[in-house]
Amino acid sequence: MEIDPLIKKAIQESCVEAGISNCSLPITKLIERFVSNELQPAQINSSLQAIYQLMKDSE
Amino acid sequence: MSYKIHPSVEKWAANLLNQNSKNTPIDEVKFDNPIKTQFDLYYMFLLVGLGKGKSANISGLGLSEFIKHVTEPYQEYKYLLAGLLLSAELTHSGMSLEKKMVQQKVLEMLRADSGTFLSNDANDLMNGYAYNGFEIVREAYGSVPANSHEFLIWFNEVMLPDCFSSPEWSLK
Amino acid sequence: MFVSISGWETKGLRCPDMNVSFEKTALKNQINLVLMPNGTGKSTIIELISTALTGNTLNSENISSFKGNDNLEDVGHFILHLKLSQEKDRVKSITFQLNFDFISNEINFFTKQDDTVGLEQGWHAPVALQPFLNNKCVEVFVFKGDKVAHLLNKERNDAELAIKAFFGISKIEDLNSSIEDDFQSRKKTGPQTSQAETQRKNVLFRWYERLKELEEQKLNVEKYLETIEKEHEQKKQRYEAIISGQKSNQVKLTELTSKKNKAISEMSSASIKMMSAIRNPMFISDKIQNKLLNLKQNLDKMKLPGTSIEFFHELAKQPKCICDRDIDKNAEKSILLNASTYLSDDHILIVNGIKKDIQTYIDKSNDQKDENLLDALKNASENFIQTNQLLMRHLNKIKDDATQDEKVVLDDWEMLTANIAKARQDLDGLLADDISERTASSGPESACNSVIVAKKVIRLREEELAEISNNKEDFYLKEKLKNIIDNTITKSLDFISDELKNKSNEKLKKILVRGTRLEILSINKSLQIGYEGISQKDASGGQSVSIAYSFATSILERSGIQFPLIVDHPVTALQTSARRGLGDNLAKICHQFIGFVIDTEKEGFLPALRESSKNLNLITIFRPIEGNIPYLQKLPKDSKLSVKTSNGVICSDYQFFEDFTDLNLAEGEKSVL
């Protein structure tokens, strides 16, 4: 399920403010899939690991 | 700066802090509690301690810090509080107001890089005044306070005038 | 997508058996009024609609209460028919069926999504609707009880909850819990650690367990509160009926309740002013003022601050003193030694600050009239005690004047009210944030009774553990991500609230009388109303209803799934002119409206609806008891317009609806069918 465009805008702005604008898309995807109940706990964990790695690489 | 409060305050003053929700019928307007945080209580006990001129040595009591920084409503009075502590200490230590003595007290008690402008020792002194202040209030009030409006009336009508009635506060 | 209710059927339940259809008129911009005298089952039908839409079963005690008194079988059912209109005029039908089994006290759900497939066991909402068919979302468009007042009540957060539910923000909040769970699970399975780390980990895990316990407690209290608040709403009618039966007592009760609320507000105001004043040490006593002024004067007299220590440090480095004498090594040593008794620049700053503030506040206090604060507080407190006593006495009088059966209802009501207050207090305690994490952390986790404080302690301990176990990076990454999610939630709420505010105000302009100076100023936890930046505390009944409907329908439109607006007693609290205003404009703001009314709500409202709404259904439902014989005799002859069941009459004739007046009969009157 797609989330509201205003929520996407909020995610983007929050990522920019945190200095990790390149993580905006994967975080948006994670939120979309989480809100639609698409993810099992194990899938959530692996998505998080990927995002953490991206965050590390941005620093 | 580390603010430390008497460990019995939380229990004794439970009704003062949680006034809003206790026994409020659900079709009733909520009472907006004037005593918002533990710091309000700390300050009230501090006034009593300063007024009575009785601090306590809290170093062996193992008190923990309940808040690091002075809460927002008190920010504008930081200088006055520091001045009050300085004045109270000069008053209660019976020190003559000779320039060298005053200067010495200022050097001992004030510190620019502290959030409250007080040195560590002055900090402990202030916590000691608040600690004792609570004990005085607890004894004077007699029972656990039931609500904050009655407590506030008693505090302003009875406690504060009594605290500042000693001759020390009238001397120049 | 437009979701419309095309009708429903009931059998064997505590409301009359009926088959109601709104398909006489087109479903677009449709207004439906269902007139049911008090006690016929309006609340029951609304409860059933909510249950069918959410698929959430009721607890067994509640299920048994749905059985009809005259139901000789042990089963009953409720069927809700929906129509979904999508793009290109595609219309899909869905039916939710609730089969009640009164022996096992269960509800079995069935769904029909397609005429070819027939009824399927279970509740299966279309995928597009699933995110919205939960309690929180359904509450947005099903208006029960004091919903209108709740949306405007600053003490509640109904408006924020509605937005969070409809836009999935509540789910995003859950994501942070998942992030924590992931972090905790990785901590448990981490590499070998030192003894210090192991110790800290053990303490940390005990705090995780404590947090879990507290969150479970919080969930239980919230569920319990939801249940008893619902029960409270359901029993409110009976309670109010008893009070309104004691006419003179009712008037006095309203008056005393209002006086008590006013006394509480005045006491709040006086207490807050008092506390605000004593935060300024200058206010406490003239003696403090004099002491501080004395301090300042002495500091001035002593010329304190005088020269700063830095001056002497600089001087000691010079070859010559300001008096032109040479400064040798001994002189330098002497200057530096004596300089230590002078104030540094920093001290000078503080002393000057103290002196300045003493002067400022002395000047201010001369302007202030603060002698009356204590008197004002004492008066307000005395007034509160008196009005409270009067109210308590009056409540006892109401009980004394009540019949035995009524006393049971009143006692039940009192107990429910007290239980709700206690549950709210418990919830407040679980969400209290009045102890620093350092204090809480220094004690055992079992002494912590707040979810908020426990989370703060966990964060503190995670940070400490991260420091010593070189896992700082993992910890900070997790915290950074959580902050991003928190910021996303805050920003999302801001953006969406802003848009909804504008949308709602556009609708409001259409409904309110032209020139009315009222709008929604902002949407935070509740709806803040006012005009041109100046807020106002409350609005008239009609205005409040208009605001609430505009807000609710704006959410529905913005979300893309437009559910009908279903309202219990839409205009009871409104004056006739306000009813007319709402009636003139209702069809403009929602695509389907279903209002459950009693006869006294027709005045003003019905004529306006008849003029403004092309798609209007007027349905009367009543029990065929002795006192309603005159109406049985007036039923239209056309069998398509009225249907009689074993315990109900359903009539869709306009004239009958207009003429029907509730005769307010005694209980136990026999049915004539």
pLDDT at position B134 is 92
C-alpha C19/C-alpha C95 separation (Å) is 14
Q: Exposure pattern of C27-39 as b/e (b: 16+ CB <10 Å)?
A: bebbbbbbbbbeb
Q: Check CB contact under 8 Å for B170 and C287.
A: yes
Question: Is C589 part of any domain?
Answer: yes
Question: Is C156 part of any domain?
Answer: no
Q: Which of C473, C483, C496 sits opposite A6 (nearest CB)?
A: C496
- Residue C272 and residue C292 share a domain: no
Least-confidence region, from C105-114, C294-303, C318-327, C376-385 = C294-303
Residue-wise pLDDT for B38-51, tens only, equals: 889 999 999 999 88
Inform me whether the pLDDT recorded for A32 exceeds 60: yes
Q: Which of B17, B103, B148 sits opposite C434 (nearest CB)?
A: B17
- Find the mean pLDDT for residues C247-264: 87
**Which chain C residues contact residue B40 at CB under 8 A?**
275, 279
**Which chain C residues contact residue B152 at CB under 8 A?**
271, 274-275, 377
Using pLDDT thresholds of 50, 70 and 90, give the confidence band for residue C669.
Answer: very low
Question: Is B17 part of any domain?
Answer: yes
Residue-wise pLDDT for B69-99, tens only, equals: 777 788 888 889 889 888 888 776 666 566 6
Nearest CA in chain C to A48: C179
Sheet holding C642-644: strands in order across?
C142-143, C565-568, C592-597, C30-35, C615-622, C649-651, C642-644
Nearest CA in chain C to A9: C492
Q: Check CB contact under 8 Å for B102 and C304.
A: yes
Report strand pairing: C30-35 vs C592-597. parallel
pTM flag (> 0.90): no
Q: Do chains C and B touch (3 or more CB pairs under 8 A)?
A: yes
The last residue of a domain, from among C469, C487, C505: C487
Question: Is C164 part of any domain?
Answer: no
Give Cβ neighbours of residue C514 (< 8 Å, ≥ 6 apart). none
Shortest distance, CA B153 to any CA of chain C (angstroms): 7
- Residue C125 and residue C13 share a domain: yes
Spacing of C-alpha B58 from chain mean position = 15
DSSP per-residue string spanning C246-306: SHHHHHHHHHHHHHHHHHHHHHHHHHHHHHHHHTSHHHH-HHHHHHHHHHHHHHHHTTSS-
Those chains having 3 or more beta-carbon pairs within 8 angstroms of chain B are C
Q: What residue numbers bound the domain in which B68 lies?
A: 3-74+120-169
- Residue C342 and residue C199 share a domain: no
What's the half-sphere exposure (Cβ side, CA atoms, 13 Å) at C65? 13
Q: What count of other Cβ atoms lies within 10 Å of the Cβ of residue B15?
A: 16
Rg (CA), chain B: 17
Question: Is C173 part of any domain?
Answer: yes
Spatial contact of C382 and C389, defined as CB atoms under 8 Å apart: no
Q: What residue numbers bound the domain in which C652 lies?
A: 2-129+561-659
Residue in this structure with the two tokens 């008194």, named with its chain if needed: C69
Nearest C-alpha neighbor of C368 from the set C271, C267, C289, C265: C289
- Domain total for chain A? 1
Q: Check CB contact under 8 Å for B149 and C381.
A: yes
**Which chain A residues contact residue C560 at CB under 8 A?**
none
Inform me whether the pLDDT recorded for C157 exceeds 80: yes
Spatial contact of C651 and C619, defined as CB atoms under 8 Å apart: yes
Residue numbers of B between 57 and 116 with CB closer than 8 Å to C: 64-68, 73-74, 77, 79-84, 86-88, 90-91, 97, 99-100, 102-104, 106-107, 110-113
Q: Check CB contact under 8 Å for A10 and C167.
A: no
Token representation of residue B53: 């001129």
Question: Is C373 part of any domain?
Answer: no
Using pLDDT thresholds of 50, 70 and 90, give the confidence band for residue C672.
Answer: very low
Q: Which of A7, A11, A48 sits opposite C167 (nearest CB)?
A: A7
**Which chain C residues contact residue A44 at CB under 8 A?**
178, 182
Q: How many CB contacts within 8 angstroms connect chain A with chain C?
A: 82
CA angle C202, C204, C208 (to 5 degrees): 115
Q: Which of C174, C182, C492 sits opposite A7 (nearest CB)?
A: C492
- Residue C459 and residue C410 share a domain: yes
Helical packing angle, C372-400 and C404-430, nearest 10°:
140
C-alpha C423/C-alpha C420 separation (Å) is 5
- Residue C410 and residue C339 share a domain: no
Which among C491, C496, C501, C559 is the top mutation candidate for probing chain A, defined by the most A β-carbons within 10 Å of its own β-carbon? C491
Residue-wise pLDDT for C635-647, tens only, equals: 888 888 899 998 8
Residue-wise pLDDT for C549-606, tens only, equals: 999 999 999 988 899 999 988 888 777 888 888 888 888 888 899 999 988 889 889 9
- Residue C111 and residue C43 share a domain: yes
C-alpha C563/C-alpha C1 separation (Å) is 9
C-alpha C205/C-alpha C465 separation (Å) is 12
Give Cβ neighbours of residue C397 (< 8 Å, ≥ 6 apart). C249
The last residue of a domain, from among C304, C336, C368: C368
Burial of C142 (0-12, 13-18, 19+ CB in 10 A): buried
Question: Is C666 part of any domain?
Answer: no
Residue-wise pLDDT for C118-135, tens only, equals: 788 889 888 888 888 988
- Domain total for chain C? 3
Nearest C-alpha neighbor of C589 from the set C559, C561, C615, C550: C550
- Residue C41 and residue C121 share a domain: yes
Nearest CA in chain B to C422: B23
Q: Check CB contact under 8 Å for A45 and C496.
A: no
**Which chain C residues contact residue A52 at CB under 8 A?**
474, 477-478, 481
The last residue of a domain, from among C487, C507, C531: C487
**Which chain C residues contact residue B80 at CB under 8 A?**
280-282, 292, 354, 357-358, 361
- Domain total for chain B? 1
Q: Does C495 touch chain A (CB under 8 A)?
A: yes
| Residues of chain B scoring pLDDT < 50 | 21-22
Question: Is C517 part of any domain?
Answer: no
Q: Check CB contact under 8 Å for C261 and B28.
A: yes
pLDDT at position C664 is 54
Helical packing angle, C372-400 and C247-278, nearest 10°:
160
C-alpha C101/C-alpha C487 separation (Å) is 48
C-alpha C208/C-alpha C187 separation (Å) is 12
Nearest CA in chain C to A13: C488
- Residue C110 and residue C48 share a domain: yes
Nearest CA in chain C to B113: C346
- Residue C344 and residue C450 share a domain: no
- Residue C121 and residue C93 share a domain: yes
Which amino acid, one-letter code, is at C596?
Answer: F
pLDDT at position C492 is 96
pLDDT at position C115 is 65
C-alpha C101/C-alpha C440 separation (Å) is 50
Least-confidence region, from B43-57, B79-93, C163-177, C486-500 = B79-93
C-alpha C468/C-alpha C208 separation (Å) is 19
**Which chain C residues contact residue B29 at CB under 8 A?**
261, 264-265
SS3 percent helix, strand, coil of chain B, rounded to 5, is: 55, 5, 40
**Which chain C residues contact residue A14 at CB under 8 A?**
484-485, 487-488, 491
Which among C170, C173, C174, C182 is the top mutation candidate for probing chain A, defined by the most A β-carbons within 10 Å of its own β-carbon? C182
Nearest C-alpha neighbor of C631 from the set C614, C608, C616, C648: C648
Question: Is B105 part of any domain?
Answer: no
- Residue C569 and residue C645 share a domain: yes
Choice between C460 and B101, residue whose per-residue pLDDT is larger: C460
For chain C, percent of residues with pLDDT exceeding 90: 32
Q: What residue numbers bound the domain in which A11 lies?
A: 5-58
DSSP C671: B
Question: Is B54 part of any domain?
Answer: yes
Question: What ipTM was reported for this prediction?
Answer: 0.97
- Residue C245 and residue C310 share a domain: no
Nearest C-alpha neighbor of B138 from the set B17, B35, B30, B12: B12
Nearest CA in chain B to C424: B21
CATH number of the domain residue C118 falls in: 3.40.50
- Find the mean pLDDT for residues C255-271: 90
Shortest distance, CA C132 to any CA of chain B (angstroms): 29
Q: Which of B44, B86, B160 sits opposite C295 (nearest CB)?
A: B86
Question: Is C533 part of any domain?
Answer: no
- Find the mean pLDDT for residues C50-77: 86
pLDDT at position C671 is 42
Average of per-residue pLDDT values in chain C:
86
Cis status of the peptide bond prior to B34, with omega within 30 of 0: no
